[in-house]
């Protein structure tokens, strides 16, 4: 309808990065968060579809408007640390979702990857 907000688009997003560089190594920490968006209440949709408490017509088109739900999101933190090694190689440690938040975005049924730590070597030839 005219004036409605677009689904799955946050009203506000914030992010920031702090970085430090010293002789032979770097570190960066990034935090971000999305605020206030509308998406479907996917748990209610799945429940009603499964239990057949609603007709098929109520679960498509204009009937979906009744399943709109407001979400606020959760903060996320990521980090990257690099260490210069001999002969053009770099040791890289990356951590994603350091707070281990797996629910709350982009809806109430999606589970995103938990805390993920990656270790690697980067080489230049």
CA angle 21, 26, 31 (to 5 degrees): 100
pTM comes to 0.81
Report the pLDDT value the prediction gives residue 58, as an integer from 0 to 100.
81
Report the pLDDT value the prediction gives residue 40, as an integer from 0 to 100.
93
What is the pairing mode between strands 76-84 and 116-123?
unpaired
Q: For 63-81, write each residue's pLDDT tens digit.
A: 899 899 999 989 999 999 9
CA dist list (Å): 47 to 50, 52, 68, 111: 5, 8, 15, 17
Report the pLDDT value the prediction gives residue 13, as an integer from 0 to 100.
96
Report the pLDDT value the prediction gives residue 55, as an integer from 0 to 100.
81
**Residue 124: band (very low, low, confident or very high) from pLDDT cuts 50, 70, 90:** confident
For residue 30, the cross-strand partners are 17, 78
């Amino acid at each position: 309808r005219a004036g409605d907000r677009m689904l799955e688009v946050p009203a506000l997003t914030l992010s920031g990065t702090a970085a430090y560089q010293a002789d032979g190594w770097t570190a960066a920490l990034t935090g971000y968060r999305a605020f206030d968006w509308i998406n479907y209440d996917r748990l209610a949709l799945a429940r009603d579809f499964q239990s057949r408490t609603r007709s098929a017509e109520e679960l498509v088109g204009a009937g979906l408007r009744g399943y709109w739900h407001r979400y606020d999101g959760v903060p996320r933190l990521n980090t990257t640390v690099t260490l210069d090694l001999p002969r053009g190689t770099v040791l890289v440690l990356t951590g994603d979702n350091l707070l281990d938040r797996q629910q709350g975005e982009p809806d109430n049924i999606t589970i995103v990857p938990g805390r993920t730590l990656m270790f690697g070597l980067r080489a230049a030839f």
